Structure 1
Amino acid sequence: MGKISAFYTMPHPPIVIPEIGRGEEKKIQRTTDAFNKVAEDIARIEPDTIIIVTPHGPLFNDAIAMSFENKIKGNLGRFSAPQVNLSLEIDIPLTRKIIEYSAKEDIITVVMTRDSAKTYDIEYELDHGSMVPLYFINKKHTKYKLVHITYGMLPKMQLYKFGMCIKKAVEDSDKNAVFIASGDLSHMLTDDGPYGYSPYGEKFDNEIISLLKDGDVLGIFNMDRTTIEKAGECGLRSYYVMLGAMNGYDIKGNLLSYEGTFGVGYSIMSFSLKETNLDTYTILLDQNRKRFKDKIHTTDPYIRLARESLTHYLMYGEYMNLTSYVTEEMKNHKRGVFVSLKNDGQLRGCVGTIFPTTKNIAQEIIRNAVEAGLHDPRFIPVTEDELEELDFSVDVLTEPEMATKEELDPKKYGVIVRSRGKSGLLLPDLEGVDTVEEQLSIALQKGRIFPYEDYTIEKFEVIRHNQV
């Protein structure tokens, strides 16, 4: 019976590699020391296989990528160090077992080979999210095979369940394995960091480190969504998978190092595990079901109608009829409506109508909720199993009215421009659109209208109904 003998969270700052840092790596010496400490630990364990989950391989919205050639190579040429390279053998039997267990749980995996990589117009190679940790490990231990995984933008419960599949696959083998969750914490710790400064950066880093040290899986899964979204991190999904592979254990994290010198949080942790009869996955599911019941009982009629419309269609294959809670406003007015679905803060579907296409707002919501769930071409269709995890929002557009440039406010009003049968529309309060000039320029571009042409301007507002 196989076993995952050790778990680690490790960052992947290229600058920590001396060939890249050229002296700058000394500013994060504690990170270097912790990398070396983990490498020494792994050398003592002598694992047959290292399982690594990275954010920087082939990234899919709806699937997890698994490297599946006999070998995989990579170098750090994009960081001006092509001489830093690795060539590793993939553990094909274990990777296959993980794919098989995942399929049984309806978790989609993409088998990445050189041929399939060409299909997606990407390279089959080791990414820096894997290479940086393995650079240090390979100095101490090289007699291992690799399971190379790129997490997908899946719901966190699916990522956790995927981690459970990894654990089962290892136990169903004869492998002594080590698990590495590769990921940086916030990229927004300082003004001169990669994405500027956000107060949520330090907040996120402090919370996730504290929760991991305490082994508080429920706390991690209940972290504030705004904090996560605004922290600019890339490690949390790797951690979700790792925690799933730890299901059934009491966990305690040992922080080996944390530094934010370059505006990015670099955390390295090891873990002590004690086997228990506790099934954290079941507890998380029960939490989700309670949260779902609370959503249904506290939501406004617009959100309730959107949720029930998609649920009804998935169950019965037809549009629902109007129900008693639909308000007079929803029945007696026509408006354009956008319905958006999110899962753990990530967009899962969005379809809308600028102008009404049905006889009232309620029917517009019913139709667009189904379209958002099943026919947004950017995503695979929503399934019944996902409904409990989805958050809905409904944007109702007010009737456009003629306006002058001076009357516009990009935070408050959307805009429609028209010229000779051409039109362009832009919704209000969009990130990166801060001035009237920017708003009009984008709307004109969307309508293929030249700025020197005569055009009319209309403004409208969006009344937003968010999930409570």
Structure 2
Amino acid sequence: MITYAALSPHPPLLVPEIGGERIKDVAGSVAGMRQMARELADSCPETVIFITPHGNVFADAISALADSQLKGDFSNFGNHNQGTSCKNDKALLKNIALRAGSADISMVLLDQDTALRNQLNPRLDHGVLVPWYYLEEAGLVEVNIVPISVAFLSLLELYRFGTIIRDAADALGRRVAIVASGDMSHRLKDEGPYDYHPDGKRFDAEVKTCLEQGDVAAFLNISEELRSNAGECGYRSLVIMFGALDGRGFTPKVFSYEGPFGVGYLVAGFLPEAEGKSLLEELQQKKREEISQSRDNESIPVRWARMILENYTRYREIPPIPQEMEVLRQQRAGTFVSLKKNGQLRGCIGTTEAVYGDLAQEIARNAISAGTSDPRFPPVGAEELDDIIYSVDVLGEAEPCSREDLDPVKYGVIVSKGRRRGLLLPDLEGVDTVEEQVYIALNKAGIAPSEDYKIERFRVTRYK
């Protein structure tokens, strides 16, 4: 059973041996951490599960450290003495992983050899070590831990994973506390880690209100744009934590909130109570409705790309083109088909000019390639198809130009020298200047900025 749940910030300066004189500037957070740690310790857990955003984070899989004995220290923050060694609850971890697999949620268990072989971190990160410092101080020593890293899965998958943690604890009769490690906005001040953004304070205020009121539904409805603008790192940890509390009532308590260095630090605790309302089915139904609405509003190029990839993935067949899509046979152009899953790129393949007989064939070939042959990703599986969001870019003719003629929002760019050629589509997230656009295109082509190269630009009609 889940005995307690908590949100813990994780700046190493909260540890007195690291924070030094600066500890007085986060006195509210220190007091909040001590209150939270005492309440968690009083719930008498046998195992503490930490959900951290600073471990080995993957786009498509939850990960967890799997060695029997887990170690970590703050040497990356200038302190070589403040370390810890904890026993891993491998039985609970194995049960969680088996249940995740059965629910089609990928989970990777990393022992030290596997981690080092793949240049990953086999040690506890500060997202675990900071809250653990206060739990040890509260007397919680003879317990096992399970360190789990978040992933860039959908919020529904993360929430479902939280319910898997709960079910695994119940199946083993294990008393488990769960700590969602994460800071709030990193954009509260210009002198913070990132530039100031007004949505930073707005995000922190919304999260704080949701936690104070125990309003999980409102918390899950915080927009992706607001979360992104805020530059937060704790939201996904909290989604998993709330999933572990699904079906239980709880008493929320916000112990402290402050943001003295441009980063929001929020400490909160949640004491589980009697059986309550489950949100899982409601969230699943909402996802089904969103998918249905999205499919109803598709443009013809996007619907054709989706039909192609779905049929090819499931049956290795290319369907006949429907009558209402015959208009695609009347045009020839280069196209790019892009796939996204949970806001992350899942594949993108295209042609810079017409290669196949007509636009229908161009889209079909590139949709299959984007789903099966993008070297950056494994082939799309049938279980992913409902989560794929498609866009189709139809390219206009390229024309020679100079740097002064470029606009990264309006035009795509092609750079070339001899047989080396690099293309970048317009209006891409994170590409805001001509310099960035040309640099990326040159890098793709393997052309040095100092070389004499040709620049072309092109317009794109983007279908979503």
**TM-score bin, normalised by smaller chain:** over 0.9
Q: What is the CA–CA distance in structure 2 between the aligned matches of 1:225 and 1:116, rounded to whole Å? A: 33
Sequence identity (%):
39
Q: Which residue of 2 aligns with 1:392?
A: 390
Q: Which residue of 1 aligns with 2:246?
A: 247
For residues 382-424 of structure 1, the C-alpha deviation after alignment (integer angstroms, 9 at most, x for no partner) is: 3333333332222222111222444222332222233333333
Distance 1:25 1:462, change over 3 A: farther
Q: Which residue of 1 aligns with 2:258?
A: 259
Q: Which residue of 2 aligns with 1:41?
A: 39
Secondary structure of residue in 1 paired with 2:100 = helix
Q: What is the CA–CA distance in structure 2 between the aligned matches of 1:87 and 1:64, rounded to whole Å? A: 23
For residues 155-211 of structure 1, the C-alpha deviation after alignment (integer angstroms, 9 at most, x for no partner) is: 222222211111111111232221101111221221111121222322222222323
- Scaled by the length of structure 2, the TM-score of the pair is 0.93
| Residue type of the alignment partner of 2:371 | G
| Residue type of the alignment partner of 1:85 | G
Matches within 5 A, 1:47-446: 47-140=45-138, 141-276=140-275, 278-326=277-325, 328=327, 330-430=328-428, 433-437=431-435, 439-446=437-444
Moved more, 234-243 or 426-435: 426-435
Q: What is the CA–CA distance in structure 2 between the aligned matches of 1:335 and 1:272, rounded to whole Å? A: 60
| Residue type of the alignment partner of 1:43 | A
Q: What is the CA–CA distance in structure 2 between the aligned matches of 1:190 and 1:244, rounded to whole Å? A: 32
Distance 1:349 1:174, change over 3 A: same
Distance 1:108 1:435, change over 3 A: closer
Q: In the TM superposition, what is the alpha-carbon distance from 1:436 to its structure 2 partner?
A: 4.0
Q: CA RMSD in A?
A: 2.2
| Residue type of the alignment partner of 1:131 | L
| Residue type of the alignment partner of 2:456 | E
2:457 to 440, 447, 459: 459
Distance 1:366 1:250, change over 3 A: farther
- Scaled by the length of structure 1, the TM-score of the pair is 0.92
Q: What is the CA–CA distance in structure 2 between the aligned matches of 1:325 and 1:230, rounded to whole Å? A: 40
Q: What is the CA–CA distance in structure 2 between the aligned matches of 1:251 and 1:342, rounded to whole Å? A: 36
For residues 370-392 of structure 1, the C-alpha deviation after alignment (integer angstroms, 9 at most, x for no partner) is: 33233333334333333333322
Q: In the TM superposition, what is the alpha-carbon distance from 1:256 to its structure 2 partner?
A: 1.3
Distance 1:397 1:230, change over 3 A: farther
**Structure 2, unpaired ranges of 5+:** none
Q: In the TM superposition, what is the alpha-carbon distance from 1:320 to its structure 2 partner?
A: 2.4
| Residue type of the alignment partner of 2:412 | G
Secondary structure of residue in 1 paired with 2:81 = strand
Distance 1:349 1:212, change over 3 A: farther
For residues 293-315 of structure 1, the C-alpha deviation after alignment (integer angstroms, 9 at most, x for no partner) is: 11111222222222222222233
Q: Which residue of 2 aligns with 1:5?
A: 3
| Residue type of the alignment partner of 1:447 | A
Confirm or deny: 8 A CA contact 1:342 1:349 kept in the other structure. yes
Distance 1:356 1:46, change over 3 A: same
Q: In the TM superposition, what is the alpha-carbon distance from 1:350 to its structure 2 partner?
A: 2.5
Q: In the TM superposition, what is the alpha-carbon distance from 1:442 to its structure 2 partner?
A: 4.5
Number of residue pairs the alignment of both structures matches: 463
Moved more, 49-58 or 368-377: 368-377
**Structure 1, unpaired ranges of 5+:** none
Q: In the TM superposition, what is the alpha-carbon distance from 1:449 to its structure 2 partner?
A: 4.1
Confirm or deny: 8 A CA contact 2:188 2:198 kept in the other structure. yes
